[in-house]
Structure 1
Amino acid sequence: MTTSAFRSLGLATLASSLLLLSTACNKDNTAPADNLESAEDNGSAEEENAAIGDIINATAPADASLANGDYAASLEDRDKVLGRCATRTYNPATRTLTIDFGTTNCLCPNGKTRRGKIVVVFSPGPYRQPGAVTTVTLVNYFVNDNQHTGTRVLTNLGNGSFSLDVQNASIITPTGTHSWSSQRQYQRTAGFGTPTILDDEYLVSGQATGTNRKKVSYTATIQQPLLKKFAPGCARHFVSGTVNITNSREKGMLLNYDPTGTAACDNIATITVNGRTRTITLR
């Protein structure tokens, strides 16, 4: 399992850095309010996309020809992701995996409650081989009582790399609905085929377009690929790369994870708005 294309627990760590940009920028008066709203919404969306990927990885069948056979993941990995919150069924005839959290909230190990179903369809052949496609739909799926919708398509690009295409997704909350589509590519540049996650490195590219909870449309584009290292002291934040966020009301905001050009494993970044650059501390 540790050498699979979607290494267990890795997706959530990748996405957490995108979410952290909004919590840092919320302390900075330079950043436009609508861009902050869009950054927060986009970060939350990326975080749940990653969590869904880890849930699939933890429950996927070891042998796709067997109904409800062994898991590909270890019990330890499953407990880290699911605890005892979900039941899992697998139909080899349709290559469909159903992860059912039930109709009442269950508190998962990451501190979030979930209910509803994640339904996964694997393309023919081993899902870890290059070109394999995994299609994910959500059925009455809620996280912390916020409903998540849309389709996710993961494509194995080989050598531990993959793409994630999110189509017509939304998160429905009491304060408004965030809707979006996104395309991300995760290129593994180190650590493929080893038994540890600590030597993994990824370059993340792509963009997202959507409408935030305040009904303001936005685009979040990774201008320079984001470098993620999983070495001790590095995993919480990207160490380099830039993200540009624009919306229909205000000028753009550029986030730079490596203002010194050293790719240091630290929590220092900069934001640039209207030509003014300020240093921020990522949480």
Structure 2
Amino acid sequence: MKTTKFILGLALAFSIFSCSKDDSNSSSELNEAKVSAKIDMATEDVAKIVEDQYALQVNPGAGKNNLETQDLPSCATVTVELTASTWTRTVVFDNCTLPNGNVLDGTIIVSGSLNFDTPSHTISYTFIDFHHNNILIEGNRTVVRSMQSTAAQGTVHPVANMSIDMTVTFPNGNVYHRVGNRVRELIEGFDTPMIWADNVFSITGSWTTTFPAGTQTSTITTPLRVRANCPNIVRGVVEIVRNDNTAILDYGNGECDNQATLTINGTTTTITLGH
């Protein structure tokens, strides 16, 4: 499968940032950190599913191809409906476990135009009673998928520009809202479609997450680098702003490890990435 475990871990940065400011608030802020990390995971999993359904519609009989398709769990079912000009793929999960361990339940509807000869293709997605690890995800937005050259890669390659607007409800009833944009480029491995391990992605974008007690804005200032054969981000820098305070999260020099550094007011701390 062409799959990448992409867990931003930005929230972990703020759990440390919060504690350095005021230990009395560390408990609530740590909870916010965990919430943000879970939303990060949901966003990435949704992006993969949406892009792969488009890729399968483009080339339904080819299986894995240069548009990065991956197998869904056997408990997921896909129904395809066609009109004269559009396609719709309804993906139903029944408490299905993804390769990265996340459990999905409910429905994602992915649709677009049957005209695949245009330079770009707009893919719409929406949710029906969809849960990611028992967290309700609501919203409907778009991904603009294209083959193009960019600053990250001069050779024409797949680029997915995802608009994010999600309302997230946790089992305890707390509601969070995330808006923003992420661009996911397959910059290496697109010319070897049957070899998933050589895939490398470049991620850019920014987003704002609204918590009950405030907001947190994250901006990728140096593109994140994600390798299919590594479970964590290996390179890139994210600037995180909360309550007029700024932290810098640096994922390193490209080595496959679970370490990143967080810099606040000139003081750098090493943090461990992961679920």
The aligned residue for residue 200 of structure 2 is: 201
- Correspondence for 1:89 among 57, 75, 79: 79
SS at match of 1:237: coil
Q: CA deviation at 1:149?
A: 0.7
Q: What TM-score does the superposition give when structure 1 sets the normalisation length? A: 0.75
Q: Kindly report which structure 2 residues correspond to 1:81-160, keeping only aligned pairs within 5 A, or say none.
A: 81-84=72-75, 86-93=76-83, 94-101=86-93, 106-110=95-99, 111-126=101-116, 130-158=119-147, 159-160=157-158
The aligned residue for residue 255 of structure 1 is: 249
Q: Report the CA distance shift for 1:228/1:184 in structure 2 as closer, same or farther (over 3 A).
A: same
The aligned residue for residue 240 of structure 1 is: 235
The aligned residue for residue 183 of structure 2 is: 185
Q: CA deviation at 1:140?
A: 1.7
- Correspondence for 1:275 among 237, 262, 266: 266
Q: Report the CA distance shift for 1:224/1:36 in structure 2 as closer, same or farther (over 3 A).
A: farther
Structure 1 moving runs of 4+ over 6 Å: none
Q: What TM-score does the superposition give when structure 2 sets the normalisation length? A: 0.77
Is the 1:221–1:245 Cα contact (8 Å) retained in structure 2? yes
One-letter amino acid of the counterpart of residue 277, structure 1: T
Q: Is 1:52 equivalent to 2:50 in the alignment? A: no
Q: Report the CA distance shift for 1:151/1:180 in structure 2 as closer, same or farther (over 3 A).
A: same
One-letter amino acid of the counterpart of residue 143, structure 2: L
- Correspondence for 1:171 among 137, 157, 168: 168
SS at match of 1:257: strand
One-letter amino acid of the counterpart of residue 54, structure 1: K
Q: Residues 244-282 of structure 1: CA distance to partner in whole angstroms, max 9, x if unpaired?
A: 11123x512211112xxx433333321112332112233
The aligned residue for residue 153 of structure 2 is: none
One-letter amino acid of the counterpart of residue 218, structure 2: A
One-letter amino acid of the counterpart of residue 266, structure 1: D
SS at match of 1:160: strand
Q: CA deviation at 1:49?
A: 2.3
Distance 2:52 2:163 in 1: 20
Distance 2:35 2:187 in 1: 28
Q: CA deviation at 1:184?
A: 0.8
One-letter amino acid of the counterpart of residue 270, structure 1: T
Q: CA deviation at 1:176?
A: 1.5
The aligned residue for residue 216 of structure 1 is: 214
One-letter amino acid of the counterpart of residue 107, structure 2: K
Q: CA deviation at 1:137?
A: 0.5
Is the 2:3–2:196 Cα contact (8 Å) retained in structure 1? no
Q: Report the CA distance shift for 1:88/1:187 in structure 2 as closer, same or farther (over 3 A).
A: closer
SS at match of 1:205: strand
Count of aligned positions:
251
One-letter amino acid of the counterpart of residue 144, structure 2: T
Is the 2:159–2:184 Cα contact (8 Å) retained in structure 1? yes
- Percent of aligned positions that are identical: 22
Q: Report the CA distance shift for 1:141/1:72 in structure 2 as closer, same or farther (over 3 A).
A: farther
Distance 2:3 2:34 in 1: 22
